[in-house]
Amino acid sequence: MYIKYETVETARFLTDDKRFEKSINHTVSYEEIWNNFVDDITFEFDLKTRKPLMPKDKTLNYTTFHKFEKAVYEYLEEKNEKKYLKDISKIALKNFLYLLPVFDRYSPSIAIDSDTGFIDTTFSTRDNGLFTALVTENGEIHYSRVSKGVKIYKFSGVAKIKDSRDFKHFSKVLEML
């Protein structure tokens, strides 16, 4: 994961009696920059131009973001032919993007689940197994880890996130990778 974008906001405060003015430099965390970006994002996909979702003046750069855009456009192309495929859930897209900084550390594969319109991610585990996580639109993330010891064993479950700023805590689940 790398982020080139960095901003320093200068916050100016006036005291009540207005005799003093002081300014402080307040560094906004990368996390908050990203979350603010996701808060405001609107999904305008254009199959003809493949217009990037990331504005040119933003240089926040996650490898997974490019994979995400590619997965979405590939799905939209397929849906162009197969009209019956589920629409992509824009809420699920947004939830996925809140998770993206956490996912980006592990370089997952990304695809759209055509049965639900949600976002599916696939990771390799350290013991040559697979971990998948389906990001839904209601804050649930359905995950499953499958690997082999003496026999095949699995850890599966549902993470339930109620506030967008809590998606980062899914990193605790990803520790099992």
Partner 1 sequence: MSKNIVSVVKINEGIVSRYIKPSFVEDNKILNEAFDLRDRTPPEEFVSFYLVKNSDENSMYKEAIKLLPILPKASGVMILLDIKESLEEINDEVEEIINFVDKSLPHCGLVYLTNNRMKIQEAKTTLSYLAKNRFKLVKNIS
Evaluate whether 78 touches 72 at the Cβ level (below 8 Å).
no
User: What is the sign of the dihedral through the CA atoms of 125, 136, 54 and 10?
Assistant: negative
Which tokens go with 106? Answer: 């592990």
Q: Which of 119, 110, 53, 108 is nearest to 86 (CA)?
A: 119
- Shortest spacing between CB 50 and partner 1, in angstroms: 16
Residue choice 1, 76, 91, 146 for contact with partner 1 (CB under 8 A): 146
150 binds partner 1 (CB under 8 A): no
Residues 6+ apart with CB under 8 A from 26: 8, 9, 10, 11
In the shown chain, the binding pattern of residues 72 to 111 toward partner 1, with x for contact by CB under 8 A and - for none, equals --x---x---x-xx-----------------------x-x
In the shown chain, the binding pattern of residues 21 to 60 toward partner 1, with x for contact by CB under 8 A and - for none, equals ----------------------------------------
7 binds partner 1 (CB under 8 A): no
Kindly indicate which of the ranges 25-33, 44-52, 97-105, 141-149 contains the residues binding partner 1, using the contact rule CB under 8 A: 141-149
Angle at the Cα of 130 from the Cα atoms of 72 and 156, rounded to 5 degrees: 95
User: What is the sign of the dihedral through the CA atoms of 11, 55, 162 and 126?
Assistant: negative
- Shortest spacing between CB 140 and partner 1, in angstroms: 8
- The rounded distance, in Å, linking the Cα atoms of 177 and 173 is 8
Residues near partner 1 (CB under 8 A) are 74, 78, 82, 84-85, 109, 111-116, 120, 122, 124, 129-132, 134, 136, 140, 142-148, 152, 154, 156-158
